[in-house]
Structure 1
Amino acid sequence: MTSPLWNSSVPPVEPPWERFDGLRAVLRGAPIVLLILVCLPLMMLTRGIERLSVGARRPWSSFFPRFVSRMSLRIMGIPLHTTGAPMSAPGAVVANHSSWLDIFTLNACQNVFFVSKAEVANWAGIGPLARASGTVFIARDRKEAGRQKALFEARLHMGHKLLFFPEGTSTDGLRVLPFKPTLFAAFFAPELRDEVSIQPVTVRYIAPLGADPRFYGWWGDMEFAPSLITFLKARKQGSIEITFHDPIAVKDVPNRKDMAVLCEKAVRSALPEISDKFKNV
């Protein structure tokens, strides 16, 4: 079962190519690729050492995704500002989903392991990187609920902080779609309920001055490569604001549906109101 893609009736405004855009994209993209190529084998080597010394836990190799993400945003010239702080309690993080850029954004300010749909594991380029960084892959099928719960429980007991996107799809970055309660169910199992909290996090992308306010969004059937090039070649960049909301203890919430509503409300609270032009698309 796959989630339907969110789409918009107002097509995105593509920024025109200007002089030196191609060169700018190469000068930003090449160091990012080199950074990944250097850090990936170092991470895998560290992972091998971890397996021999601490088993399935990842106390050292989780440094690399955060380092690569922070450096990549700096190379692209996109400043990142945070309000609040990541929780220290065991549990999960939930956030709104606007773009593939969320992976860099949310990795840059905390040590997390993403929860992703199983199909991503087979995507060219992205799949191997996701597997190497410890992404938890799940099949969105009710028949897999038991296995999913056991997997979440095992990772949480290792001290891993899981991050997932309850909207189930990405948007234009201006809105928050209704949170699906399905993924919250595992945290209400007796083995986890009294131990974990869930922290809502809002990611707000502010477009470059004069650009389409949805500049950093990635939705519908947009392709990854053109989106990446658009970000890399931008003469002026916008910025990113991340708000860490207060964690919500699972034991204090009656059920998964109420938890989904509470988290959605918190995430939505840190985004400005949508302009009339984009409100009903």
Structure 2
Amino acid sequence: MNVKWDMPEEPSAGRISVAGWIRVLLRGLTLGVLVFGGLLILLLIRLIERPIYGLHRPLTPHITQFVCRNAFRILQMPHKVRGERMSQKGAVVANHSSWLDIFTLNARKRVYFVSKAEVAAWPGIGWLARATGTVFIRRDPKEAKQQQQVFEDRLLAGHKLLFFPEGTSTDSLRVLPFKSTLFQAFFHDHLRHEMHIQPVTVIYRAPEGEEPRFYGWWGDMDFGTHLLKTLAARRQGSVEVIYHPPVRVDSFPNRKSLAAHVEEVVRSGMPEDRQGLPVK
């Protein structure tokens, strides 16, 4: 999360009550068994799936979706979906608010995240990311050609790659300007006339009585503290995912016009009070 924006002050960590710690224990243990049990099963099946199907993953994405859907049941957090999920080859772009986006966007659609290479080394999250087929990229010109080939191979194999064009997570109350860099990959001759991009809006609504930024995770906020706060909540808020109609890449003259269009669509899906452009 190294992109600079006019970050609001991070909320102070509130005290967790005794009842809250009981919820942390019960939800945390159940969630841990679900996530890491699912990861173990996924890795075992992948040992068979990979030599037979190669890049194609006809089996393991079902495990990922099962884990992510049930994570919201454990949290007792409603997960709502609107719109049709894209069936064409291509990629998905969404606004980025929290580590919860990993569960939110995997729960109802088979996607493979595109992430910075550093995430692969993160404890827990890095293991999950590698196991579920995340594409890791480095901002190194020397690796640009190799990374382009990985993109092409995965996209032409039918993988729905998902990336966050904002380049960072936010407080969940805004959509930052989309960076157009990654969109260039879709304008190569092998992809331009084959690919579609589906904009997706993710809306988090805080628990009743909590501040609106409750689920936002940004800047240098500590992951462990935010996770504990989420697990301890007496009543959860909700998350809504809006799948907008996909657009053809070759309908746009260049990456900047494509990025500007999908940014506008993603922002339009937010509640009216969250649609304003951020102050730079």
**Aligned pairs for 1:214-253 within 5 A:** 214-253=213-252
Q: Deviations over 1:129-175 (max 9, x none)?
A: 11111100001234433222211110012211100000000000010
1:132 match: 131
Unaligned runs of 5+ in 1: none
1:194 and 1:251 in contact (8 A); partners too: yes
CA–CA distance in structure 2, aligned partners of residues 198 and 161 of structure 1: 9
CA–CA distance in structure 2, aligned partners of residues 6 and 43 of structure 1: 37
CA–CA distance in structure 2, aligned partners of residues 241 and 75 of structure 1: 17
SS in 2 for 1:85: coil
Counterpart AA for 2:129: A
TM-score normalized with structure 1 length: 0.94
Unaligned runs of 5+ in 2: none
2:90 match: 91
2:98 and 2:169 in contact (8 A); partners too: yes
**Aligned pairs for 1:41-190 within 5 A:** 41-190=40-189
SS in 2 for 1:191: coil
1:267 match: 266
Report the CA distance between 1:104 and its aligned residue: 0.4
1:50 and 1:56 in contact (8 A); partners too: no
Q: Which moved more, 1:120-129 or 1:218-227?
A: 120-129
Report the CA distance between 1:13 and its aligned residue: 5.1
CA–CA distance in structure 2, aligned partners of residues 274 and 18 of structure 1: 32
Residues 9 and 37 (structure 1), Cα distance of their counterparts in 2 relative to 1, 3 Å cut: closer
CA–CA distance in structure 2, aligned partners of residues 280 and 149 of structure 1: 33
Report the CA distance between 1:39 and its aligned residue: 1.4
- Calculate the aligned-residue CA RMSD, in Å: 1.8
Counterpart AA for 2:118: E
Report the CA distance between 1:225 and its aligned residue: 0.4
CA–CA distance in structure 2, aligned partners of residues 45 and 17 of structure 1: 38
CA–CA distance in structure 2, aligned partners of residues 27 and 168 of structure 1: 34
CA–CA distance in structure 2, aligned partners of residues 229 and 138 of structure 1: 30
Q: Deviations over 1:173-216 (max 9, x none)?
A: 01011100000000000000000100000000000111110000
Q: What number of residue pairs does the alignment pair up?
A: 278
Q: Deviations over 1:36-69 (max 9, x none)?
A: 2221121112111112321221111111111111
1:179 and 1:260 in contact (8 A); partners too: yes
Counterpart AA for 2:173: L
Q: Which moved more, 1:45-54 or 1:105-114?
A: 45-54
Q: Deviations over 1:55-97 (max 9, x none)?
A: 2211111111111111111101110111102100010000000
SS in 1 for 2:106: helix
Report the CA distance between 1:279 and its aligned residue: 6.7
CA–CA distance in structure 1, aligned partners of residues 8 and 200 of structure 2: 27
2:36 match: 37
Between the aligned residues of both structures, percent identity stands at 53
2:199 and 2:245 in contact (8 A); partners too: yes
2:195 match: 196
Q: Deviations over 1:10-59 (max 9, x none)?
A: 33254442341001011101011111222112111211111232122111
